[in-house]
Amino acid sequence: MNFLKTDFLIIGSGVAGLYSAYKLSSYGEVIVVTKKYDYESNTFYAQGGIASVFSEKDDPEKHLKDTLEAGAGLCDIEATRVLVTEGPKHVRELLSIGVEFSRNKAGEIDLVLEGGHREKRILHAKDRTGKEIELALLSKVKSISNIKILENHSLIDLITQHHLTKSLEHSEITCYGAYVLDNKKSDIFPILAKKIILSTGGAGQVYLHTTNPDISTGDGVACAYRAGAIIKNMEFYQFHPTTLYHEKGDSFLISEAVRGKGGILKRLDGEPFMKEYHPMGDLAPRDIVARAIDNELKKSGEPHVLLDVTHLIKPDIMANFPYIFEKCKSLGIDITESAIPVVPAAHYMCGGVATDLFGRTNIINLYACGETASTGVHGGNRLASNSLLEGLVFADRTAKDISEQKCGFLPEHELVPQWDKEGMINTEEWVLISHDLNEIKTIMSNYVGIVRSNLRLERAYRRIQLIYDEVIDYYNRTVITNPLLELRNLVQVAELIIRSAMSRKESRGLHYSTDYKEDRNPSRNDTVIINHI
């Protein structure tokens, strides 16, 4: 395969990527590139739900207030207002596409409460909301003839003027497409496009314990940074407060909705503790709950705390959380009779590629949406269940902006070369390099986790720099594989997180440092990193 051409190239097949494809399909041909199976994404594994104003008791201003408060004063108010006001119509569109949200006995949509929300506004499909949305969107997208999904294809790099066979005089960075690896055939080829959208999800695999699938290696952020995109607020990595603690549990997510239904966090002696940390108790924002659990573990030396739902009605537990019930039961835990052992785990990247209100980056023709993007709506800490909503709202705005432009292939598209495949596989050296993956995860978890300090960050930065140099040196000399691409991207993202954390001289939201006082007052002091290529 020499190259492919399409009107619109979308990297990633989660809610933001699929909704973008669906919205853009009326205006041209779309190619969606996804690293594994078409459904494999953070969206697919989202349990809790999608936040949106559906109740007469609720209104967008209340949703706005809760989001701003959870965001520790760092949210972009304009972007957040867009999120809460435009969100409901897109959730209704999901209903029209075929998403089956849970309903109460009266046949109305069942709205539940989650941490940080003061009103019931979480729509859910029991405890598999993400799967329901993902599969419905996939079904819709697959029914549209001018959308093509390339499974098992990995993004290598975005194509800019630095790749062209002829140097250009203009200074603005422009994106012409992407180099892609066919993981099954090991072929590398360019996909040329008029507009390119990054929606590759997060980077939870940079930590030892994460709720994210294996594919979450920060590909979009790393590639965008290398291309010269502005990266914002990467120090704010959200740890979900409650993931199952079990040697065979693989950081399995215990949804925020469990506490919304009345679950209580307790010490191992059975004593509740969250009221000691926040007036909202077990329904406090995620950064506060995660930090409280971390503090309890440090004080007690115990490996986990407990999330207790045994006081709730057994049939209700099984009806509302069938997936969680079955998963825990398979590991020997009956959650209707025993409390669930839980610990925090890396869950959501609140920073990312900086965009405006229409998904535009500082690179011409390049957009970003979903978890990959930094729209400003999450600030220093994402409010529970706002992520799927953000994916819908800003995917739609991205598609709308593109549809209103005169899109065409540029003369420079003819200057894009084939990928230089030169290199050799050094199996013995790869064994050594692959060990860097676990070292990256260990460094990030030990030094750049829920609680940080200047000393820890400086130590982490020195060690990550050494690994970065080793990985890049090996990458430049060898044949490209998906594991190598992921390692390259993870070490890049780790470095960006550490540099961002080192530059923020305060404790705010998800970035909590023992060297600085906490500040939650309104602030538009974003952390900005640019690769001046």
Could you tell me how many residues make up the chain?
Answer: 533
User: What is the DSSP secondary structure assignment for residue 418, as one 8-state letter?
Assistant: P
Residue 16 CA neighbour count, 13 Å, CB half:
31
Q: How confident is the model at residue 172 (pLDDT cuts 50, 70, 90)?
A: confident
CATH code of residue 334? 3.90.700.10
221/171 same-domain check: yes
The answer to whether residue 70 is domain-embedded is no
| pLDDT tens by residue, 305-363 | 999 999 999 888 888 898 899 999 999 999 999 999 999 999 999 999 999 999 999 99
Same domain, 198 and 321: no
Q: Establish how many alpha carbons lie within 13 A of residue 378's alpha carbon, considering only the half-sphere containing its beta carbon.
A: 33
Count CB atoms within 10 A of the CB of residue 488.
22
The DSSP symbol for 413 reads G
**What distances in angstroms separate CA 2 from CA 146, 180, 184, 263, one per listed residue?**
21, 11, 16, 56
Q: Which residues pair with 364 in a beta bridge?
A: 174
Same domain for 398 and 452: no
DSSP letter, residue 35: S
Residue 238 β-bridge partners:
348
11 within a domain of the structure (yes/no): yes
Q: Check: CB of residue 256 under 8 Å from CB of residue 385.
A: yes
Predicted confidence at residue 4, as pLDDT, reads 95
Q: In this structure, are 215 and 285 located in the same domain?
A: no
Report which of 209, 274, 216 is spatially closest to residue 245, judged by C-alpha positions: 209
pLDDT classification of 39: cutoffs 50, 70, 90: low
Residues 355 and 220 in one domain: yes
Closest by CA position to 479, among listed 227, 163, 181, 214 = 181
The per-residue pLDDT for range 198-237, each reduced to its tens digit, is 999 999 999 988 989 899 999 999 999 999 999 999 999 9
Give pLDDT, residue 44: 65
pLDDT, tens digit (0-9, with 9 covering 90-100), for 244-296: 998 776 778 898 889 988 999 999 999 999 999 999 999 998 889 999 999 99
Same domain, 407 and 447: no
**pLDDT score for 168:** 75
Lowest mean pLDDT among 158-172, 230-244, 506-520: 158-172
Q: How confident is the model at residue 524 (pLDDT cuts 50, 70, 90)?
A: confident
519 within a domain of the structure (yes/no): no
Which residues are catalytic, by number?
286
- Predicted pLDDT of residue 40: 66
Q: pTM of whole model > 0.85? A: yes
Does any domain span residue 14?
Answer: yes
Residue 406: strand, helix, or coil: coil
**Widest CA span of the chain, in angstroms?**
70
Radius of gyration of the chain, Cα coordinates, nearest whole angstrom = 22
The closest alpha carbon to 156, from 470, 469, 360, 420, belongs to 420
Q: Domain ends where: 359, 386, 415? A: 415
DSSP characters over 368-405: E-GGGEE-SSSTTSPPTT-HHHHHHHHHHHHHHHHHTS
Question: Where does 287-396 show beta strands of DSSP type E?
Answer: 305-308, 340-349, 352-354, 366-368, 373-374
What is the number of structural domains in the chain?
Answer: 3
Give the phi and the psi of residue 235 in degrees, each rounded to 5.
-70, -15
**Does residue 424 surpass a pLDDT of 80?**
no
Q: Are residues 435 and 307 in the same domain?
A: no
User: Structural domain of residue 359, as residue ranges?
Assistant: 4-47+134-236+350-415
Amino acid identity, residue 196?
I
Are 130 and 371 a contacting pair, CB within 8 Å? no
Beta strands 30-33 and 305-308 are unpaired
Question: Rounded distance, CA 238 to CA 240, Å?
Answer: 6
pLDDT of residue 236: 97
111 falls within a domain: no
